Amino acid sequence: MRTKLWAILLVVFWFSAAACIVSASDHSAVGTWKLDTGKSSYGTLPAPKYEQLVITTDTPETLAWKLTGAGADGKTFTMSFDGPTNGTFQPIVGSLADHEISYTRIPGGGVTFSVRTKTGYVFETGTSHLSADGNTLTRSGTVQGREGKTEFVSVYTREP
């Protein structure tokens, strides 16, 4: 009897855990996000002073966002993206350099991304994912620049 009870509890636990994993991946990133500079790190890159990310579309097939901020030098910038998550490179529209980005969905939630110049040089790769509660968005990856390769982590918190 005791063995049966443990088996039932184990099955209930695994179904509960599976439901939590599925619900975590079902969170939408649509909303307004603020960069938490205290939790973010940029290696040898200059850290931005401020960033606000507004995600307007987050479906399995499409992603759309607008980013406004101020760089380490205090200069403000805006950029936006509206396109598919099928791995094809699409333009990033904005006040910074003329780059393209590709997104691919990761099974279970999140996306991988690659950023390249118009000439095809891929200089940034990484992943973005939501926390289980849907209130933290983390972007992490590697940037290859003139000074070499460096890793970064950008942590955004959902604004009400």
pLDDT band at 26 (very low <50, low <70, confident <90, very high): low
- Tokens 């200059």 sit on residue: 46
- pLDDT score, position 20: 30
CA distance 143 to 117: 13
CA distance 1 to 23: 33
Q: Which fold does the domain 28-158 belong to in CATH?
A: Lipocalin (2.40.128)
- pLDDT score, position 96: 73
- Left, alpha or beta for 123 (phi > 0: left; psi -120 to 50: alpha)? alpha
DSSP annotation of 46: P
CA distance 126 to 114: 7
- pLDDT score, position 108: 82
- pLDDT score, position 5: 25
Predicted TM-score (pTM) of this structure: 0.81
Residue 29 has pLDDT above 90, yes or no: yes
Q: Of residues 51 and 97, which shows the higher confidence score?
A: 51
25's tokens: 């991946």
In Å, what is the CA distance from 41 to each residue of 18, 35, 45, 126, 138? 32, 11, 9, 14, 11
